[in-house]
Amino acid sequence: MHLAYPAVLAVLLFCTGIYGVLARRNAILVLMSVELMLNAVNLNLVAFDVWLRDTLHAGQALTLFVIAIAAAEIGIGLAIVLLVYRNRGSSDVDLLRDLAESDTDPDGPDAGGAGPAADTAQPQKAEAAA
């Protein structure tokens, strides 16, 4: 078997996965692109294992570990995407950059001082002194 055929196919798969990660906005499609890149790596591992005629079949054993880790990764990734979609109403990756919840109180901690909490704290001090 020529090593060039699976290597070229793996490069094409990996480049397609990179394009999907960089160009897509939907989190599900980004996860699918990551899986495509992992499958390209698996193809290279098996192809080099066959080409080297390794008696231990280390490439194939490593491929099984990568498949198991990829299954766990996609399960956790889908759980996170579903949780984000449930909370925010969108799975757009660009909207996930701001992970903190927005503060609707204009006199919040970033307003620079006296907010509603500061107004209520003074009468309590006066009552405690009396």
The predicted-structure confidence for 27-68, as pLDDT tens digits, reads as follows: 999 999 999 999 999 999 999 999 999 899 999 999 999 999
- Of residues 101 and 117, the one with the higher pLDDT is 101
Instruction: Sketch the domain layout of the chain as residue ranges.
Output: 4-94
Of the CATH numbers 1.10.10.60, 1.10.287.3510, 1.10.1040.10, 3.90.700.10, which one belongs to the domain with range 4-94? Answer: 1.10.287.3510
The predicted-structure confidence for 2-29, as pLDDT tens digits, reads as follows: 999 999 999 999 999 999 999 998 999 9
Can you tell me whether residue 26 is helix, strand or coil? strand
Q: How confident is the model at residue 96 (pLDDT cuts 50, 70, 90)?
A: confident
Whether pLDDT at 90 is above 90: no
What does the pLDDT read at residue 123? 53
- Whole-number Cα distances in Å, 26 to 14, 15, 75, 94, 109: 19, 18, 17, 9, 33
What does the pLDDT read at residue 61? 95
What does the pLDDT read at residue 95? 79
